[in-house]
Amino acid sequence: MSPNLDDLDPRTPVVVGVGQSSERLDTPGYRGRSPVDLAADAAREALADAGVDPAAVDTVAATRQFENSTPMSRAPLGRSDNFPRSVAGRLGADPKRAVLDVSGGQSPQHLVNEFAAAIAAGDAEVVLLFGAEAISTIEQHAKAADRPGFAEHADGDLEDRGYGLRGLVSMHHAAHGLADAPSQYALFDNARRARLKLTREEYARAIGELFAPFTRVAAANPHAAAPTERDARELVTPTEANRPIADPYTRYVVAREKVNQGAAVLLMSVAAARRLGVPADRWVFLAGHADLRERDLMQRADLSRGPASVRAAEHALEVAGIGPGDLAAIDLYSCFAAPVFNIADGLGLAPQDPRGLTATGGLPFFGGAGNNYSMHAIAEIVGRARRNPGRYGLVGANGGIMSKYSVGVYSTTPSPWRPDDSARLQAEIDAWPAPDEARQADGWATIETYTVKHARDGKRIGIVIGRLEADGRRFVARTDDRDTATVELLGTGEPIGQRLYARSFGFGNRVTVDEATMRQLYPAEPAVLRERYEHILTRRDGHLLEVTINRPEARNSLHPMANDELDHAFDAYFAADDLWVAILTGAGDKAFSAGNDLIYSGSGRPMWVPKNGFAGLTSRRYLPKPVIAAVNGFAMGGGCEIALACHLVVADATARFALSEVKVGLIAGAGGVVRLPRTVPAKLANEMILTGRRLTADEALACGLVNRVTGAGQAIEGARALAADILESSPTSVRISLQVMAETRGIPDVVEAVTHHSPALDELMVSEDMMEGLTAFAEKRRPRWRNR
């Protein structure tokens, strides 16, 4: 039984004010408001809604704009360096605390949940939440000569929580085309369609029927960005205006990000509401709430469902003490169909529920105001709660790739603050079993889910999440741009459950309809040295191979093409029986290698390395024949990692060694952070890795990083002399010695390692080289090695 207002704890949180603002480019009165302006407009409305002076606000918290949601985001017109305090300044407020939340559509509801709890704990009293986007205005004016400037500075402290992207952004996924939201969400909808055994046409119709009522709500909403009513067929029928985006989505049924919209919510304690004279008919209680997170994409057991999101909605209703049937108003985050279907399925709501599943019109039609959409949903649900006293409304706010879900249940019915049990539930979710993943996928596989991406120029690529038949591991892959047959398979009928052939490369996994197609697209190149390479030079001298990185103009830094050539050259070296020792060096006298080509990568072109790692060396399990690094000049970053991967290092007096990645915001991820601590004293390794400290050639010699130091410009001669010493030994013995060292490297007990039996020793005992060596010794002559 609910308490009377007089019986409530004075610290009980209540929503007392909501506000929204918007403008469209094509409407009279358009002013080109900045995100700060739009948020301030909405905040003024929320304060006026409650009749509260801005001076009463002790805390402000804001959602992030798209232009500040990832490290790669840009603000073409500039932005505030302290968004919450810029908005507060517009209002004349001077709060004690200012917060900028993490990215994600869950943010508005999460902030309500968080600060309601803070108010209940006595840690805040009057909290103003807000956010805004001006994407439409920014895009309209970004290239104009007289474009407005939205950059501004605001004094005061700021609790910037960062982007909050951990687990949501993956270089591996991006390399396979999963960098955009439509493609990732399409995986869920296609998996759900297959689970329900619906045809493509039936599922498209279901999406249209789901969203047609949303368009009617948007058409009646004065803040909607696309207030046009459309029927189910129009929503999903491809046309020039409604082009395919990613199967099964057309343009009309994906979130509309080009909006100018702001929204705000004013929270306070019951004590503050009474003190400030806020009428009780403005009070709306947060009766239930929950915040949960799904497992990361590849760790989800069933890609057709979002069970953690459903559990969040169920738990919020449990906290409120009601069931789905008690709700009078609902707004489910609707960037795509999948998150709406997911919650509707989980709560037993029909897509055509007469109560409706949106209060705003939804993200494709009202507008996807960045991370702030659900602030608008809260404003609408609060308004409905006031117009229907005693009834309940639910807001489901989704973030990431159906990853983070925050739920709020609102009512004017007096509700004491009830803590949720999200932490315990999250621990259970985190313990759910997860499929094993194959980062490199090779062999026959079955399709678990998929999508086909459609570019404006008509180009199509297919993206697949599949399971390898050999061991059931899950992987992500894409089609080759030249492969129309596999795209056709994914674009017709029912691909899920179909067989495909997968193969991994340095640039990612590819799938084709069969093995023959894969061989045709990627014919195997013989492991034989080419007559000519573009970015490297090769020279044979008897049993010695010299490989030179030939990019002196770029300090011998490596881009994908140079890496590929080095990979091929070393494949050929390791495969050739008559090549026994290799030397790797850099052209010129300035640098052995400056590592990754940052100018190339900074151009925005795809960066990748072969499966065998940087320079074709750093990710090989072991190098079966000796490789000597002849270091002339700088071995920086990846160049130092190449040297670390080699068996032996000869450095000239000018050589400098450093893992400098931390200086440019990276890490020595091609083996440097692993190999360096195993090569030099731990404290020195720590210093080099954490500060980018450079070692001279003599310092490197003293700590065991290099074998020999020569005069300036003499590294290659020193390497040749060292190679000559090796060439005097049995190539069979050298090769098997390297193999046994590799086999025993991970055995911590010395005696166990010594007594480890390697099959290679049996090979040695019957080798011609062993017999030749013993015979030559007895005959007091130089051996004639055969390497067999």
Residue 708: per-residue pLDDT: 97
Q: For the segment 680-691, what is each residue's pLDDT rounded down to a tens digit?
A: 999 999 999 999
Cα 647 to the center of its chain, rounded Å: 35
Give the CA angle between residues 1, 325, 104 to the nearest 5°: 95
Cis ω on the peptide bond leading into residue 248 (within 30° of 0)?
yes
Q: In this predicted structure, which of 26-30, 94-98, 165-169 has the lowest mean pLDDT? A: 165-169
Mapped onto helix, strand or coil, the DSSP state of residue 542 is coil
- The arithmetic mean of pLDDT across residues 353-368, rounded, is 97
Locate tokens 């105001």: which residue?
A: 369
Q: For the segment 192-202, what is each residue's pLDDT rounded down to a tens digit?
A: 999 999 999 99
Residue 781: per-residue pLDDT: 84
Q: How many CB atoms lie within 10 A of CB 530?
A: 14
295: pLDDT confidence band, cut at 50, 70 and 90?
very high
- Nearest of 632, 544, 530 to residue 582 by alpha carbon: 544
Locate tokens 């080419």: which residue?
A: 530
What's the topology of domain 11-172+253-430?
Peroxisomal Thiolase; Chain A, domain 1 (3.40.47)
Do residues 534 and 565 lie in contact, with contact meaning Cβ atoms separated by under 8 Å?
yes
Burial of 92 (0-12, 13-18, 19+ CB in 10 A): exposed
Distance CA 149, CA 432 (A): 49
Query: Which of residues 220 and 1 earns the better pLDDT score?
Result: 220
Continuous H helices in 637-679:
638-645, 672-675
CATH of the domain spanning 536-727: 3.90.226.10
Q: Is the pLDDT of residue 773 over 80?
A: no
CATH of the domain spanning 443-521: 2.40.50.840
Q: How many CB atoms lie within 10 A of CB 733?
A: 15
Both tokens assigned to 483: 């492969």
Q: How many CB atoms lie within 10 A of CB 89?
A: 18
Distance CA 592, CA 595 (A): 9
Secondary structure percentages of the chain, helix, strand, coil, to 5? 40, 20, 40
- Nearest of 650, 614, 617 to residue 632 by alpha carbon: 650
Distance CA 712, CA 722 (A): 17
Rounded to the nearest 10°, the torsion over CA 704, 706, 708, 714 is -160
User: At what angle are helices 337-347 and 181-195 packed, to 10 degrees?
Assistant: 40
Do residues 498 and 465 lie in contact, with contact meaning Cβ atoms separated by under 8 Å?
no
Distance CA 61, CA 557 (A): 45
Q: For the segment 222-262, what is each residue's pLDDT rounded down to a tens digit?
A: 999 999 999 999 999 999 999 999 999 999 999 999 999 99
Percentage of residues in the chain with pLDDT exceeding 90? 84
Percentage of residues in the chain with pLDDT exceeding 70? 99
Q: How far apart are the first and last CA of the chain?
A: 89
Locate tokens 């050999």: which residue?
A: 470
Distance CA 547, CA 397 (A): 57
- Nearest of 515, 502, 602, 611 to residue 564 by alpha carbon: 611
Residue 250: per-residue pLDDT: 97
Q: For the segment 587-607, what is each residue's pLDDT rounded down to a tens digit?
A: 999 999 999 888 877 766 778
Give the CA angle between residues 427, 429, 435 to the nearest 5°: 125
369: pLDDT confidence band, cut at 50, 70 and 90?
confident
Locate tokens 């639910």: which residue?
A: 394
DSSP 8-class letter at 152:
B
Both tokens assigned to 99: 């917060």
Helix (H) or strand (E) holding 559: none
Q: Is the pLDDT of residue 731 over 90?
A: no
Residue 1: per-residue pLDDT: 54
- The arithmetic mean of pLDDT across residues 44-57, rounded, is 98
Residue 233: per-residue pLDDT: 97
Residue 2: per-residue pLDDT: 63
Q: For the segment 390-428, what is each residue's pLDDT rounded down to a tens digit?
A: 999 999 999 999 999 999 999 999 999 999 999 999 999
Q: For the segment 370-394, what is each residue's pLDDT rounded down to a tens digit?
A: 899 999 999 999 999 999 999 999 9
Q: Is the pLDDT of residue 273 over 60?
A: yes
Cα 347 to the center of its chain, rounded Å: 30
Q: For the segment 495-549, what is each residue's pLDDT rounded down to a tens digit?
A: 999 999 999 999 999 999 999 999 999 999 899 999 999 999 999 999 999 999 9
Edge-to-edge strand list for the sheet holding 392-399: 159-160, 97-100, 59-62, 126-134, 260-269, 13-22, 284-293, 404-411, 392-399, 327-332
Q: Which residues are catalytic?
A: 641, 661
Distance CA 242, CA 235 (A): 8
Residue-averaged pLDDT of the chain: 94
Residue 779: per-residue pLDDT: 81
Burial of 644 (0-12, 13-18, 19+ CB in 10 A): buried
Distance CA 534, CA 551 (A): 10
- The arithmetic mean of pLDDT across residues 773-779, rounded, is 81
Q: How many CB atoms lie within 10 A of CB 328?
A: 16
734: pLDDT confidence band, cut at 50, 70 and 90?
confident
Distance CA 284, CA 183 (A): 38
Mapped onto helix, strand or coil, the DSSP state of residue 18 is strand
